[in-house]
């Protein structure tokens, strides 16, 4: 009996030792160690590698492998060449260095195409430096008819003034051309295509009346692609007659009016003061006329000659007196003033 009891106690001791050893192995294994079940010694376990998080794919799963290998659509962008350094000439279609064009008064060095210039640039090209004195800038356009097409006329005026820096399509004032004092007006096609609204007509009329009082030569450089401004209705149409009447009084007083036509000079501007000069100059290849070719063809029903609205065609048929390149315009105006004794 005693031997059986001792045997049972020994078995219990062995079982308890095995349980404790198992628990110890589990605890040490969680801390990176391993216990040998035969020697109860500790062994270092290799570090447990954590599974990497799944990577986000940058390829559209709907895109096939062949699609992802395709080249990007469109021509590749050139590196190291800032935008805006080159301009494509509409005359000869050549790419020309922009700075070279600006040095030539915005004229293409390859084909002599005359690019657009703003009213402020035009004044700087024609008048002696620092002599321009603006007039009637306090006159601002309004919206008397509350006109609206795609947008309200009042909103269009505000946006055009912010975009161009002009208050309306005409800039008037006085200055010196080769030390000869003149009254000068310039229209700008960037402002609602240079159309003639009430303020444009009023500024021109006041400048003409002032030139009459001061007995000064009058220079008007036209760059108006539009005629009367439809947003002002009959008030705009009245400006053609008002400016033409002021020019008639100026002519009666013996004044010299030099009209310079640039690209474009169209519509009511061409049909009124732009064609009434004592001398009419024009830039090369300028578009000059009243209505567009399609409108004229539909009205008279005949085929029109090629280039019939260019300054070269009009010079050949006696509509203008001389074609003057931009670089010579200032000198030609000064010569004409001296020749006419003004």
Q: Do the Cβ atoms of 224 and 272 come closer than 8 Å?
A: no
Q: Which CATH architecture has domain 116-339?
A: Alpha-Beta Complex (3.90)
The model's confidence at residue 80, banded by pLDDT at 50, 70 and 90, is low
Question: What is the full DSSP assignment across 136-176?
Answer: -TT-----TT--BSSSBHHHHHHHHHHHHS-SSSEEEEEEE
* Of the listed ranges 17-21, 223-227, 233-237, the one predicted with least confidence: 17-21
**For residue 286, pLDDT beyond 70:** yes
Query: Is the previous residue joined to 264 through a cis bond, with omega within 30 degrees of 0?
Result: yes
Average pLDDT rounded to a whole number, residues 59-84: 54
Among the residue ranges 112-121, 225-234, 257-266, the one predicted with the least confidence is: 225-234
Res 125 pLDDT > 90: yes
Q: State the DSSP code for 226.
A: -
* Residue 51 pLDDT > 60: no
| Amino acid 63: pLDDT | 47
Coil, strand, or helix at residue 342? coil
Statement: residue 37 has pLDDT above 50: no
Positive or negative torsion for Cα 243, 248, 252, 257? positive
Neighbours of 146 (CB within 10 A): 8
| pTM for the full predicted model | 0.75
Mean pLDDT of the chain: 85
Q: Is 268's pLDDT higher than 70?
A: yes
Tell me, what DSSP letter sits at residue 224? -
Any idea where the domains of the chain sit in the sequence? 1-45, 85-115, 116-339
pLDDT at residue 65 in the model:
47
Please identify which residue in the block is written with the tokens 């004794």: 341
Predicted confidence at residue 73, as pLDDT, reads 57
CA atoms within 13 A on the CB side of 184: 26
Confidence of residue 293 (pLDDT cuts 50, 70, 90): confident
């Amino acid at each position: 009996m005693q031997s059986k009891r001792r045997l049972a106690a020994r078995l219990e001791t062995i079982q308890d030792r095995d349980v404790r050893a198992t628990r110890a192995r589990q605890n040490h294994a969680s801390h990176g160690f391993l216990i040998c079940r035969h020697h109860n010694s500790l062994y270092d376990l290799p570090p447990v590698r954590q599974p990497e998080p799944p990577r986000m794919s940058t390829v559209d799963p709907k895109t096939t492998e062949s699609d992802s290998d395709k080249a990007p659509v469109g021509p590749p962008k050139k590196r190291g060449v800032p935008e805006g350094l080159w301009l494509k000439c509409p005359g000869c279609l050549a790419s020309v260095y922009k700075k070279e064009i600006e040095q030539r008064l915005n004229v293409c060095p390859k084909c002599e195409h005359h690019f657009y210039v703003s009213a402020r640039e035009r004044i700087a090209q024609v008048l002696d430096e620092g002599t321009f004195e603006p007039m009637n800038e306090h006159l601002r356009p309004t919206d008397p008819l509350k006109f609206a097409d795609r947008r309200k006329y009042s909103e269009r005026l505000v946006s055009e003034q912010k975009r161009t820096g002009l208050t309306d399509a005409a800039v008037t004032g006085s200055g010196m051309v080769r030390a000869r004092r003149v009254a000068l007006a310039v229209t700008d096609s960037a402002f609602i295509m240079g159309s003639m609204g009430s303020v444009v007509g009023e500024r021109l009329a006041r400048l003409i009346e002032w030139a009459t009082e001061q007995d000064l030569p009058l220079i008007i450089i036209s760059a108006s692609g539009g005629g009367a401004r439809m947003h002002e209705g009959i008030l705009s149409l009245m400006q053609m007659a008002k400016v033409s009447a002021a020019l008639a009084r100026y002519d009666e007083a013996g004044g010299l009016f030099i009209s310079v036509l640039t690209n474009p000079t169209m519509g009511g501007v061409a049909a009124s003061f732009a064609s009434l000069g004592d001398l009419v100059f024009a830039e090369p290849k300028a578009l000059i006329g009243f209505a567009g070719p399609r409108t004229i063809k539909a009205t008279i029903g005949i085929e029109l000659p090629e280039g019939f609205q260019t300054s070269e065609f009009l010079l050949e048929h006696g509509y203008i007196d001389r074609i003057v390149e931009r670089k010579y315009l200032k000198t030609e105006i000064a010569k004409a003033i001296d020749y006419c004794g003004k």
